[in-house]
């Protein structure tokens, strides 16, 4: 009975998270979501499943624990789940069960660190690409010398005068 209820809870928590995804917009939420996505992809690949609904019950419960662990101490996550129909007691019990599993806590911590390192590497690569692009643009601007028209020519009376009118 306990495992059926826990599996139902896990499925509901994951479904509520997917439904609430647009409401979680803080950078910490994005980092936690990326870490959870990496873990979820590994679990789905390991079980050759197309979605979380087709996972075995044990894998589904562990995936829900990982979801709760990577979003630890984020009130916005809890509020979003409660908004989508998950009882706060269910979230607390899932979090308490996850806390009793030190290997899951370590896995969540490592997933967050790997995601953060990946984000930093991508940001550094984007900075290098932007600097390279700016440098290439500067070189091209120097290569294509745009002729400078003197101000005296631009303001000459011949250019400012009215154009001749055609006889009607």
DSSP annotation of 86 = -
Task: List b or e across 110-145, with b for residues whose CB sees 16 or more CB atoms inside 10 angstroms.
Answer: ebbeebeeeeeeeeeeeeeeeeeeeeeeeeeeeeee
In a domain, residue 137? The reply is no
pLDDT digit string (tens) for 41-99?
888 898 898 888 888 888 888 888 888 888 887 788 888 888 888 888 888 888 888 88
In a domain, residue 23? The reply is yes
Q: Could you list the residue range(s) of the whole structural domain that residue 86 is in?
A: 2-125
Domain count, the chain: 1
DSSP annotation of 161 = S
In a domain, residue 66? The reply is yes
pTM of the model: 0.64
In a domain, residue 91? The reply is yes
Confidence check: pLDDT of 157 > 70: no
pLDDT digit string (tens) for 118-147?
888 988 888 888 888 878 777 777 666 555
Is residue 36 within 8 A of residue 16, CB to CB? The reply is no
């Amino acid at each position: 009975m306990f495992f059926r209820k826990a599996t139902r809870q896990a499925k509901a928590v994951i479904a509520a998270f997917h439904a609430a995804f647009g409401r979680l917009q803080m950078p910490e939420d994005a980092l936690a979501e990326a870490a959870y996505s990496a873990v979820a992809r590994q679990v789905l690949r390991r079980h050759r499943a197309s979605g979380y609904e087709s996972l075995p019950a044990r894998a589904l419960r562990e995936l829900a624990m990982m979801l709760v662990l990577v979003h630890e101490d984020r009130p916005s996550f809890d509020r979003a789940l409660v908004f989508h129909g998950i009882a706060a007691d269910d979230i607390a019990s899932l979090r308490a069960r996850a806390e009793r599993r030190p290997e899951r806590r370590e896995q969540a911590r490592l997933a967050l660190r790997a995601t953060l390192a990946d984000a930093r590497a991508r940001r550094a690569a984007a900075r290098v690409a932007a600097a390279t692009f700016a440098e290439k643009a500067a070189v091209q601007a120097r290569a294509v010398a745009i002729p400078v028209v003197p101000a005296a020519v631009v303001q000459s009376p011949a250019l400012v005068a009215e154009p001749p009118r055609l006889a009607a």
